[in-house]
Amino acid sequence: MPFAFPSSPDTGPGLTDAGKALVRECNQLRIMLDLSHLNEKGFDDIAALSDAPLVASHSCAHAISASSRNLTDRQLQVIARSKGLVGLNYATGFLRADGKRQSFAGFDVILAHLDHMLAILGEDGVALGSDYDGALMPLDLSDAGKLQNLTAAMQAHGYSDELVAKIAWKNWVNVLERTWGA
């Protein structure tokens, strides 16, 4: 079923009592929770309960593409305050400003999402997230073998080698260590 576009991330109720108990248990066991598929109320419930860094493994900026799956600036700020992380989703429907699930060439829209997220989350709060499990990808990022195209585009856009390394892998290692208590 296609997503309505544009749409708000507020698409239903929050967590059940069992869901809230699971969040508390995951925090005790140092299990990372992924916020990428949650609606806004579920996101807020986890943010209120969790003492771990908040992580959305594959999401984009709602300010750029108003999909219900994308994170609002308020949600990005909540993740930033938790010293969490957002991994960029490459699915075209979550990247494109018009929400269409149509492939495109180039990296301008991807860089717009990264720039927006970096402005709110900072250099330690943004990573690559993909969504290579069946979603339609941009032409220049159609599979993991083309990731060097994205890192080259980030460098051409003015991102330093250190920032590209953080986004590509270092930020994931950092948030996992902080979540697991390593």
**CATH code, 64:** 3.20.20.140
Q: What are phi and psi of 47, to 5 degrees?
A: -60, -35
In a domain, 126, yes or no: yes
Q: Terminus-to-terminus CA distance in the chain, angstroms?
A: 41
142 Cβ contact partners less than 8 Å away, ≥ 6 residues apart: 103
Q: Within its chain, how far is the Cα of 129 from the centroid?
A: 6
Q: CA–CA distance from 122 to each of 61, 81, 118 (Å)?
A: 14, 11, 5
Residue 157 lies in a domain: yes
Domain count, the chain: 1
Query: Between 4 and 151, where is the model more confident?
Result: 151
Which pLDDT does position 68 carry in this prediction? 87
Task: Give domain status of residue 109, yes or no.
Answer: yes
Residue 101 lies in a domain: yes
**What residues contact 23, with CB distance under 8 A and at least 6 apart?**
15, 33, 45, 46, 49, 50
Question: Which residues, in sequence order, are bridge partners of residue 89?
Answer: 130
pLDDT of residue 1: 38
pLDDT (tens digit per residue) in 41-94: 999 999 999 999 999 999 999 999 999 889 999 999 999 999 999 999 999 999
pLDDT in tens, 95-141: 999 999 999 999 999 999 999 999 999 999 999 999 898 899 999 99
- Say how far apart CA 57 and CA 84 lie, in whole Å: 10
pLDDT band (50, 70, 90) for residue 11: confident
- Residue 49 placed within a domain: yes
**Whole-number Å distance between alpha carbons of 69 and 65:** 9
DSSP character string of 31-77: PPPB-TT--HHHHHHHHHH--SPPEEEEE-BTTTS--TTSBPHHHHH
- What residues contact residue 157 under an 8 Å CB cut-off, 6+ apart? 107, 111
**pLDDT tier at 7, thresholds 50, 70, 90:** confident
- For residue 5, being part of any structural domain is answered with no
CA–CA gap between residue 14 and residue 73 (Å, rounded):
19
The answer as to whether 4 is a domain residue is no
Q: Which domain does 89 fall in, by range?
A: 17-180
Q: What is the DSSP letter of 174?
A: H
> Does 70 fall in a domain?
yes
pLDDT digits (tens, 9 = 90+) for 141-179: 999 999 999 999 999 999 999 999 999 999 999 999 999
pLDDT of residue 161: 98
pLDDT at 12: 78
